[in-house]
Amino acid sequence: MKILVTGSAGFIGFHLTVALLKEGHEVIGIDNINDYYDVVLKYRRLNECGIRNKDIVWFKETRSRKYSRYIFIRMGLEDKSELMDVCERHRPDAFINLAAQAGVRHSITHPESYAQANLVGFLNVLESCRYIKAKHLIYASSSSVYGLNAEVPFSVRHSTNHPASLYAATKKANELMAHAYSHLYHLPTTGLRFFTVYGPWGRPDMASFLFADAIYSGKPIQVFNNGKLKRDFTYVDDITTAIIKIIQTPAQSNKKWDAKKPDPSCSIAPYRLYNIGNNHPVALLKFVKELENIIGKKAILEMRDMQAGDVMTTWANVDDLAENFDYSPGTDLRVGLANFVAWYKDYYSSKYISKSAMHGV
């Protein structure tokens, strides 16, 4: 298949791109390489895919020197004309939108960037898919949409009308926008609510990265709500495996959908929502303990109050994904964290990164 992946220099986008290429698919990658976090890490991911920094030019196609079926284009989704031109030129069989302004806490201090990237950008994605009559749009939503909902495990049939952050609100808006386009234009859309993804090449603002960095450097880890938080940590390979299963099965109309008792996970339109998680919440302090054991060094804990925008627990009900796609998260937390720490140590000791960043390791 020919697959367009936005956010292809991002954490999940990078892993998905590599997995698709290894399966023999053709990938058109798009990313604006913004500076929300270290751009060196983004360029390193691209380098791993055979895209050299010096070859990248805004709005120009860069062909991989490693994968003959990979083309990368630096651009933002806010540029509608450029995005539609790429879609018209390549006519992808599937469009996977992983590009977004991420971060719950960042959305509190930088709200405008979320409106542009997550609302305007996603509208342009929908318009581009409508224009080329895309066979399937898959897009990243988030477990954050469950907001103040306290009923666990979170089900795609639960209410998501009380977001706790602007980031969550934009992801909820994406789901509503996708449904409108599915209904109006019969565009098959599948929304994926990701649950606390971790693994090699992860973002520096993620828990595994922040905690490992603090342990190695001997700095305190800020533990919010005095450690009384649980997260459904999901290894990145389990995420990409699920996406690849879903790609070739576009969302379909549910003929049994009842408008008087509407199921929010599906519709009479070709629209579906799925959770992708580990289906096993882990206490934050246990997560830190596992990292301590793998690294071989104790963490310094600094207990803090609950942060604005945070939620107490995330826990994914993945029954629908298991039933429809035979999905089963298979990566144990110890294995996943060991893989992450091995990558972290290698990354910060590589020739691309100053050894002083290794904090003496």
Q: Is 202 helix (H, G, I), strand (E, B) or coil?
A: coil
Residues carrying an active site annotation: 167
Q: Which residue has the tokens 């929010």?
A: 264
pLDDT at 109 (0 to 100): 86
Tokens describing residue 258: 């009842």
Structure tokens at 146: 């469950």
CATH of 2-198+235-277+315-330, one of 3.40.50.720, 1.20.1250.20, 1.50.10.20, 3.30.420.40: 3.40.50.720
For the record, the structure tokens of 139 come out as 């897009």
pLDDT at residue 62, rounded to an integer = 98
The total number of residues written for the chain in this structure: 361
User: How much is the pLDDT for 358?
Assistant: 35
Instruction: Kindly report the number of other CB atoms within 10 A of residue 342's CB atom.
Output: 12
CA 113 from centre of chain: 17
- Counting Cβ atoms within 10 Å, is residue 319 exposed (0-12), middle (13-18) or buried (19+)? middle
CA atoms within 13 A on the CB side of 239: 29
- Residues of the chain predicted below pLDDT 70: 226, 305-307, 309-310, 350-361
How high is the pLDDT of residue 306? 64
How far is Cα 7 from Cα 24, in angstroms, rounded to an integer? Answer: 20
The structural domains of the chain, with segments of one domain joined by +, span 2-198+235-277+315-330
The residues facing 62 across adjacent strands are 72
pLDDT tens column, 63-93 = 999 999 999 999 999 999 999 999 999 999 9
In three-state secondary structure terms, 133 is coil
> Which pLDDT tens digit goes with each residue over 111-141?
999 999 999 999 999 999 999 999 999 999 9
> What tokens does 44 get?
């390193």
What's the confidence (pLDDT) of residue 165? Answer: 92
pLDDT of residue 250: 97
Answer yes or no: are the C-beta atoms of 119 and 176 closer than 8 Å.
no
Q: How far apart are CA 135 and CA 183, in angstroms?
A: 14
